A and B are shown apart, each in its own frame.
Chain A
Amino acid sequence: MRAVPLARHNLFQDRRRAALSVSGLAVALLLVLVLNGIFAGAIRQVTAYLRNAPADVVISQRGVRTMHMSASALPGDALRAARRVRGVAGADAIRYTSATLHGREGSQLAYVIGYDVRTDRGGPWNLVSGHTPRTGEIVVDEVAADNLGVRIGGPVEVLGRQFTVAGISRGGTSITNTTAFLPTADFAAIRGPALSYVLVRAERGTSPRVLAARLERQIPGVTVQTKEEFVHEEGSIVRDMSADLMQIMSFIAFLIALAVIALTLFTATLAKLREYAVVKALGASAWRLGRTVVAQAVWSVGLALVLAVVLAFLVGAALAAFTPNVRVAIEPSSVTRTALAAVAAGAVGALVPLRRVIRLDPATAFKR
C-alpha cells in the first residue's frame, strides 16, 4: 500500500498560494540573513589589513587592543626595544589615523597608514597596479579610486595635503571606510613622529603567544597581542556593536515569519477541513492528522529557507555590484541560526491549526 502525501498535496494543490506563503516566509528569513551577512562581511573587511599584515605579533599602546575606531601612540623606543627581544625575526612600525580622502568626484573616510616603503612591509597587501608610493605619493584602494574619480597619476587630498596616486590596491574598503597608504616620513611630517603599532615577525620555531608575553614583559607601556588575538578583538568591535541591532531585527523577522506561517497553515487547514474529517472517518488517528499539519510546516519552512538563502546570495551580489564597499557574507552558522528560528516559528505557527485538526469531529465529513 502506498501512503498519500497529504501534507504536500494540501500545501501545493494551489500553487499560487503555496508560492505566496513560501515567498512571504522566505523574505522574512531573508531579512535576518542579509543583516547577518552585512555584519559578517563588515567583520571580514574590517580585519582585512591585519589578517594580511606581515606579523605574528602586534604591539600597541597600553590598553589599546584594536585599530578600528582607535588611536595608538607607542613610546618612542618601542620599535628598537622590540627588535632586541629574543625570538623576534623582524619588526616594522606603522603610523595610523582616520582621515577623509578627497578626490575630484567625491570623498571617502579612510584609515591612513604610513609605512616604511623601503622594506615594503605593513603596506598594501594586494597592489593591483602602479608601484609602492614615494615621497608625495599615495596608494588607494580600487573601490575608493572609483568613488573619488581618480586614477594612477591623479591627485588625492588627505590631511590637508595633496598626494599623487602611485598605485591601486584591492580588498581594503569596508562598509565604513577605505584604506590608504603613505610613506611613513610623509605621515610623520603631517601628524608628528609618534608610531602607532609595531608589526613583529617571530623567528622560526618561536610561538607567537610566548613571544607576545615576552615582549609585553620587556617593553613598558605597551599591549602585545598575537595577530590572531588582534584580529579577533578587531572583529569583536563590529560583532559587539551590531549585536543589539541584530537581536532587534531577528526578533521582528521571527514575529513576521510566525505570522506568515500561522496564516499559511491556518488557511490551508481550514480549506481542507472536510478532507481531514474524511481521513479521520476512514480511521486515521488525530496524531496522524497532526503530523500532516506539522509536515506542512516543515515543508513551508524548508522551502522558504532554501529560497531565502538563494535570495540572500542574489541580494549580496546586487549590493556588491552597486555598492562595492558593502559585502554580504552568508555564513553557515548564520543559516543554521536562521533555520532554527524558522523551525521554532513553524512549530508555534502550527499550534492553532493542529488543535483544530486534533479536535475535529469525523461527522463533519458527512455535512454539506
Chain B
Amino acid sequence: MHRRVPVARRNLLADGRSLVAGVLGVGLALMLVLLLDGLWQGVQRQATAYPDRVGADLFVTQPGIRDFLGETSSIPRSTVQTVRDTRGVDWADPVRGQFVVFDLHTKKVAAYVIGSEPGGRGGPWAMADGRRPRRDDEIVVDRALAQRHGLGIGDRLGIGGSTLRIVGLADASAPMTGFVFMAHATADELFRTPDTTSFVLVGTDRPLVVRGRLERQGLSVLSADEVAANDRRLYTDIFGSPLKVMVTVAFVTGALVVALSVYASVIARRREYGIIKAIGASGWTIAGMVVRQTLALSVIGLGVGAVLFLGARALLASLRPQFSVVLTTSGLVRALAAAILMGLIASVVPVRRVAAADPATVYRGT
C-alpha cells in the first residue's frame, strides 16, 4: 500500500519548544496586524460618532467649515431662529463644539466639549449613568473618559478656569480623547464666545429641499453624512501614514519569525532532506514540503494571533477604554492574506537552503 509521509507536519511538530516560540512570534505579529486594523476601525467609528448618533439630518456651519471635530466653527446665535423659521424644518438647535485641554492627575487630557441647550438636541445621545446637565456648573463626561481617569458622578473637573461638576456619564467615546457635554451657556462662558454658536443641528423629513432653502438664505449647510465623511477623512489624513508603517513593520516581523522558525527546523533536519533527495524526490517536491511547513506555521500563528487579539482587546477595553478596537470581516480577511503572504515570503530562505542540499549529506555523520 502506498502511503504518503506528512514530512512538513512531522518537521513542524518535531520540536515542541521551537514550535511554541515560532507560533507565538508569528501569533504576536499577526495579533499586532489585527490590533492595528481594529484600532483603525475603532478610530474611524469614533470619529463619526457625533454626526452618526446625534440624530440631525443637516448641520448649519460657518462658511468654509466642513467637519465637526477638526475645525472651530462660529456663527451668529441669531442663525438658530433663521433656521427654525425656515419651512420644512422640524427642529433646530444650536451646538457649540471645541477641543479643550485640561490637567488631570498632572497629565494633559484632551476632550471635545459639546455645549447644547438643556432639553434640546445635540447633547449626549445615550446616557450610561446619571442625568443630563441642567445647570451652568454641570457636565456629563463620556464613560470611557471617566473610566480611564477614575472619574464618577459628583466629581469636579477644572476646565479653562471653571470648576464643573459631573452629573452623568454618557455612553460615547471620542477618538483618543473624550467628550464633555455641558449647557451651551456654560460653553459660551468657558470659551468667551457670547452671542455665537458653532453649528445649528437641523431635523427634517425633507433634507434636500430644506438644505436648498437654507442655502438660498446664505447659510452654509452640510448633511450628517458629509460631516461624517469629512471627519473620517480628517483622521485618515492624520493617522493613515504612521499606521501603514506600523502594519508593514508588524508584517515584516511576522515573516522573519516564520522564516527563522522554519529555517531552524530545516537545518536541524537537513540529513532527512538529503535522504529524501537521495531516494529521488525532485527539488520542487522538497520546496513544496518547506512551503507547506511555512504556510502551516503562519496559519497556526493566525489562529494564535486571533486568540491573543481577543485577549488584548478585552484587556484594552478594561484598562484603556478610550481605545475602541473593532474586529471586522474585512480585517480578518486582511490578516489571513497577510499570514499566507508571510508564509510564502518566509519560505524563500529555507527553500534555497534545502534546494542547495547535497544528497551526499546522508552519508555524513550528524
Seen from chain A, the residues whose Cβ lies within 8 Å of a Cβ on chain B are 14, 16-17, 20-21, 23-24, 27-28, 30-31, 34-35, 38, 61-66, 68-71, 73, 97-100, 102, 107-109, 157-161, 175-176, 191-192, 194, 221, 223, 233, 236-237, 239-241, 243-245, 248-249, 252, 255-256, 259-260, 262-264, 266-267, 270-271, 315, 319, 322-323, 326, 352, 368
> Contact at A264–B31, with CB atoms within 8 Å?
no
Q: State which of B25, B160, B238 has its C-beta within 8 Å of the C-beta of A259.
A: B25
Known contacts A34-B246, A71-B191, A233-B108; decide if A252 and B263 are in contact (CB<8 Å). Answer: no
Instruction: Check: B91 CB closer than 8 A to any chain A CB.
Output: no
Known contacts A109-B234, A248-B316, A263-B264; decide if A237 and B108 are in contact (CB<8 Å). Answer: yes
CB closest residue in chain A, given B64: A160
Kindly list chain A residues whose C-beta atoms are within 8 Å of the C-beta of B64.
Answer: 99-100, 102, 157-161
**Shortest beta-carbon distance from B70 to chain A in Å:** 5
Number of residue pairs spanning A and B whose beta carbons lie under 8 angstroms apart: 202
> Contact at B220–A160, with CB atoms within 8 Å?
yes
Q: CB-defined interface of B64-83 with A at 8 Å, one 1/0 digit per residue?
A: 11110011101000000000
Instruction: Check: B119 CB closer than 8 A to any chain A CB.
Output: no
> Contact at B21–A266, with CB atoms within 8 Å?
yes
> Contact at A259–B108, with CB atoms within 8 Å?
no
**Shortest beta-carbon distance from B222 to chain A in Å:** 13
Q: State which of A73, A109, A259 has its C-beta within 8 Å of the C-beta of B70.
A: A109
> Contact at A256–B162, with CB atoms within 8 Å?
no
Assembly CA distance A49 to B160 (angstroms): 22
CB closest residue in chain A, given B22: A263
Instruction: Check: B323 CB closer than 8 A to any chain A CB.
Output: yes
Assembly CA distance A157 to B260 (angstroms): 54
> Contact at B322–A244, with CB atoms within 8 Å?
yes
> Contact at A248–B161, with CB atoms within 8 Å?
no
Kindly list chain A residues whose C-beta atoms are within 8 Å of the C-beta of B22.
Answer: 259, 263
Kindly list chain B residues whose C-beta atoms are within 8 Å of the C-beta of A71.
Answer: 72, 98-100, 191
Kindly list chain B residues whose C-beta atoms are within 8 Å of the C-beta of A192.
Answer: 74, 196
Kindly list chain A residues whose C-beta atoms are within 8 Å of the C-beta of B250.
Answer: 31
Known contacts A70-B101, A249-B246, A259-B21; decide if A160 and B257 are in contact (CB<8 Å). Answer: no
Q: Which B1-58 residues have a C-beta within 8 angstroms of A?
A: 15, 17-18, 21-22, 24-25, 28-29, 31-32, 35
Assembly CA distance A97 to B237 (angstroms): 19
30 A-B pairs with CB atoms under 8 Å apart are A17-B267, A24-B256, A31-B246, A31-B250, A38-B242, A62-B161, A66-B108, A71-B72, A71-B98, A73-B193, A98-B71, A98-B72, A99-B64, A100-B65, A102-B64, A109-B71, A109-B237, A158-B64, A160-B62, A160-B220, A175-B242, A194-B192, A252-B35, A256-B28, A259-B28, A259-B257, A262-B21, A267-B268, A323-B241, A368-B365
Q: State which of A107, A256, A267 has its C-beta within 8 Å of the C-beta of B18.
A: A267
Instruction: Check: B334 CB closer than 8 A to any chain A CB.
Output: no
CB closest residue in chain B, given A176: B238
Instruction: Check: B326 CB closer than 8 A to any chain A CB.
Output: no
Q: How many residues of B contact A (CB 8 A)?
A: 72
**Shortest beta-carbon distance from A255 to chain B in Å:** 5
CB closest residue in chain B, given A106: B237
Assembly CA distance A68 to B72 (angstroms): 12
**Shortest beta-carbon distance from A263 to chain B in Å:** 4
Known contacts A100-B64, A259-B28; decide if A24 and B257 are in contact (CB<8 Å). Answer: yes
Instruction: Check: B147 CB closer than 8 A to any chain A CB.
Output: no
> Contact at A252–B28, with CB atoms within 8 Å?
yes
Known contacts A14-B267, A100-B65, A264-B260; decide if A31 and B108 are in contact (CB<8 Å). Answer: no
> Contact at A64–B264, with CB atoms within 8 Å?
no
CB closest residue in chain A, given B319: A244
Kindly list chain B residues whose C-beta atoms are within 8 Å of the C-beta of A241.
Answer: 108, 110, 176-177
> Contact at B160–A270, with CB atoms within 8 Å?
no
Instruction: Check: B252 CB closer than 8 A to any chain A CB.
Output: yes
> Contact at A237–B246, with CB atoms within 8 Å?
no
CB closest residue in chain B, given A247: B320
> Contact at A31–B249, with CB atoms within 8 Å?
yes
CB closest residue in chain B, given A318: B245
CB closest residue in chain A, given B159: A63
> Contact at B253–A70, with CB atoms within 8 Å?
no
Kindly list chain A residues whose C-beta atoms are within 8 Å of the C-beta of B99.
Answer: 69-71, 98
CB closest residue in chain B, given A96: B72
Assembly CA distance A252 to B315 (angstroms): 13
**Shortest beta-carbon distance from A365 to chain B in Å:** 13
Complex A-B, nearest 6 residue pairs according to Cβ-Cβ distance, in ascending order:
A160-B63, A63-B161, A160-B64, A259-B25, A73-B192, A267-B264
**Shortest beta-carbon distance from B232 to chain A in Å:** 13
> Contact at B70–A271, with CB atoms within 8 Å?
no
Instruction: Check: B290 CB closer than 8 A to any chain A CB.
Output: no
> Contact at B268–A259, with CB atoms within 8 Å?
no
Q: State which of A69, A262, A270 has its C-beta within 8 Å of the C-beta of B268.
A: A270
> Contact at B101–A237, with CB atoms within 8 Å?
yes
Known: A24-B253, A263-B261, A263-B264. 14 other contacts (CB 8 A): A17-B267, A20-B260, A24-B256, A24-B259, A27-B256, A38-B242, A69-B110, A73-B193, A97-B74, A100-B64, A158-B64, A160-B62, A161-B63, A263-B21
Assembly CA distance A308 to B29 (angstroms): 17
Known contacts A31-B253, A237-B110, A255-B28; decide if A98 and B70 are in contact (CB<8 Å). Answer: yes
**Shortest beta-carbon distance from A355 to chain B in Å:** 11
